[in-house]
Amino acid sequence: MISDEQIQARVRELGAQISADYEGKTVLLVAVLRGAAIFLADLSRAMTVPVELDFMAVSSYGSSTKSSGVVRILKDLDEQIEGRHVLVVEDILDTGLTLKYLLKNLASRKPASLEVVTLLNKEGKQRVPISCKYSGFSVPDEFVVGYGLDFAERYRNLPYIGVLRPSAYQD
C-alpha cells in the first residue's frame, strides 16, 4: 500500500515540519509500544531540534479491547513531563480510544504542550475526536501490516506498509 521510499520521504517531511514548529525547544517523544518503535526510530533521526525519548506500554481490558476504551498502563513513562513539550508518537490511529485515554492521562501531568504524530490515520474509523496535529498517511480500513504494525506479532519489520491477504487470517 505504501512503499519504503514513500514512507521515508514522508517521515523526512514530518521531521522537518515538526522541527520547524518546535524551533528553540526540546521535544520529548513518547512512543506507544510496540508498533510505534520503528516510526520513532526514523522520525527522531529526521528531526533537527533536541529530542528526548520515553516509552509507554498500554493494553486494553478484556477481549472487547477496541470497544471498551478502557486502557491499562503496563509501562508508564520514566520521565516527569510537567512543563515539557510532549509529542506522542503512534503508528496508527484507528478508533482513537487508545489516544483519547492516553492524552487525558498525560494532560493531567501538566506538560507545557501535548501533541500527537501518527504515521497512519484510518479514514472514517475514529469513534472519538482526537486532535492529531501531524499525520503521515490516511489509509482505508484494511488490515495493514509492516513498518511497526503486526499481525500476531509478525511483519513489524517489513520496510513498507502492506495489506494482509484475508487468507492469512481467515480459516
Query: Distance (Å, rounded) from C-alpha 32 to C-alpha 56?
Result: 5
CB-wise, 33 or 49, nearer to ligand PRP? 33
Nearer Cβ to ligand PRP (96/111): 96
43 binds ligand PRP (CB under 6 A): no
CB–CB of 139/120 below 8 Å? yes
> Is residue 97 near ligand PRP by the rule CB under 6 A?
yes
21, 94, 141, 171: the catalytic one is: 94
Establish whether 94 is a catalytic residue: yes
**Does residue 119 touch ligand PRP according to CB under 6 A?**
no
Burial pattern 123-136, b for ≥16 Cβ within 10 A else e, equals eeebeeebebebbb
91 binds ligand PRP (CB under 6 A): yes
The yes or no reply on residue 92 touching ligand PRP (CB under 6 A) is: yes
Number of residues that bind ligand PRP (CB under 6 A): 16
